[in-house]
Chain A
Amino acid sequence: MLLHLNPSSGVPLYLQLQAQVKQAVAAGALRTGEALPSTRKLAAELRINPNTVARAYQDLERDGVTRSVPGGGTFVADGLPGLLKSEKVKRLRPHARQLAVEGRQLRLTREETLKLLEEELDKLGGQA
């Protein structure tokens, strides 16, 4: 797995890890059922504390992105079938709020902010 962390970006490493795995899943670079490296292996690759990787993995599992098999590793989950639409919306709302606030602070117009979002969706390609 190709992950790249920036330790001085002001974003906690566990959040950077989570975001990159989510992005890889959304873009299809990581497929359903595919195994993620073990906590220790990924920690050694990235030269970071295994606790940090473990925290990211826990949150990914909580968010339904991955599932773990006791003693058998972490795998990409098959989507979030059990999740109600309203729950999905609830999870995404803070990110939408963040985007809106940042856009406003940077004095971008409503259209410019929406266009950015659409561009990012386009980059992910395919999938309805």
Chain B
Amino acid sequence: MSDVAIFTEGLSKSFGAQAAVSQLNLRIQPGAVYGFLGRNGAGKTTTMRMLLGLVRPTKGSVRVLGLDPAREPELLRILERVAFVSQRKQLYGWATPAELVRMNKAYFPRWSDDAAARLAQRLEIPMNMAFKKLSIGNQTKVALLLALAQEAEVLILDEPTAGLDPVMVDEILRTFIEDHVSQGRTIFLSSHHLSEVEQICDWVGILDEGRLLLESRLEEIRQEFRLVIASGEGLPVAQSADVVSATTDGRFRSYVVARDAERFAAELRGQGAAILEISPLGLRELFLHLSRKEDPCTPGNAGAKAAPVSSFS
């Protein structure tokens, strides 16, 4: 288990009758950049908070770098080795970024002054202005600086690029790769910016209503996943494990197939269907297909209630 950076098994959290996260199994490898995707309220933030011991799971287990955040001494070691940037940047408003750097470094054994100085310059952060007077974008950059300079083994980032302009986003992505991933360290991030995720991440997990709809390597999605659009009467609600999603729009049915799309299309033709298209699909399209609720036909779609599809390889 300790060869996995982040591990969850059957992880669940309910707030009263409301299930925020259900039966989540994650295996995030060291050196991975894992994009944790989902609509607002899907359970991403709750999951991240459980990894950091900020929320107690209702059921299931969590290990971060092999350590259990539910046990006090282990949690302290996690917090030394893992950096977290939450969506709400709650830092002392009166303090300047330079003061925040001085306050933070004492807590982290691996803190790098060099990295802090380099990031301040590269991200163009006004280091001597009170935090509360900074723009949202600059506040975000300060939070990222404080996280990156910890030289943590794992970065957990809840929408790290929200509110940043495209040039700054690009600079942040470069920094993630150069200063963190290149050293074999891990990133677990949530984001709604799918084009960024598609570029920087090598793994994605798609969460909906607390349930993991899909987890896959992005290279596998590029190579194997195909959108098959068919038309005809009485087309099957595909039960095959390779069909990740099937949705209907009038006489047309769209299937997202995880592998062997040509063979699947041949089967449909055998049942009298006309195949209109077999095409690769980008992350945005995949996300939209999986998140459709109006006609859930397979376990993969958001509205369905059965087991998720996972493609470990």
Residues of chain A whose beta carbon lies under 8 Å from any beta carbon of chain B: 5, 7-15, 40, 43-45, 47-52
Q: Are B177 and A47 in contact (CB under 8 A)?
A: yes
Interface residues of B in 206-229 (CB under 8 A from A): 218-219, 222-223, 226
Chain A residues whose CB sits within 8 angstroms of the CB of B282 once the complex forms: 7-8, 10
Q: Mark B258-270, 1 if CB is under 8 A from A, else 0.
A: 0000000000000
In the complex with contacts A44-B177, A50-B177, A50-B182, A10-B281 CB distance below 8 A: yes
Question: Chain B: interface secondary structure?
Answer: helix
CA A5 to CA B222, docked complex, whole Å: 13
Chain B residues whose CB sits within 8 angstroms of the CB of A7 once the complex forms: 195, 198-199, 218, 222, 282-283
Q: Are B199 and A48 in contact (CB under 8 A)?
A: yes
Chain B residues whose CB sits within 8 angstroms of the CB of A15 once the complex forms: 223
CA A9 to CA B281, docked complex, whole Å: 7
**Nearest 8 pairs of A and B residues by beta carbon:** A10-B280, A8-B282, A44-B178, A7-B198, A47-B173, A12-B219, A40-B182, A49-B202
**Residue ID in chain A nearest B184 by CB atoms:** A50
13 contacts between A and B (CB under 8 A): A7-B198, A7-B222, A7-B282, A8-B195, A10-B223, A10-B226, A10-B281, A11-B280, A13-B222, A44-B177, A47-B173, A49-B177, A49-B200
B31 contacts which of A5, A11, A51 (Cβ < 8 Å)? Answer: A51
Q: Are B199 and A52 in contact (CB under 8 A)?
A: no
Within the complex, what minimum Cβ distance (angstroms) separates B287 from chain A?
11
**Residue ID in chain B nearest A16 by CB atoms:** B222
CA A12 to CA B178, docked complex, whole Å: 22
Chain B residues whose CB sits within 8 angstroms of the CB of A47 once the complex forms: 170, 173-174, 176-177, 199-200
**Residue ID in chain B nearest A47 by CB atoms:** B173
Chain B residues whose CB sits within 8 angstroms of the CB of A45 once the complex forms: 174
B2, CB-defined interface residue at 8 Å: no
In the complex with contacts A49-B33, A50-B177, A43-B182 CB distance below 8 A: yes
Q: Are B222 and A12 in contact (CB under 8 A)?
A: yes
CA A13 to CA B177, docked complex, whole Å: 16
CA A24 to CA B147, docked complex, whole Å: 39
Q: Are B280 and A49 in contact (CB under 8 A)?
A: no
B279, CB-defined interface residue at 8 Å: yes
Q: Mark B272-287, 1 if CB is under 8 A from A, else 0.
A: 0000000111111000
**Residue ID in chain B nearest A39 by CB atoms:** B182
Chain B residues whose CB sits within 8 angstroms of the CB of A51 once the complex forms: 31, 202
Within the complex, what minimum Cβ distance (angstroms) separates A93 from chain B?
19
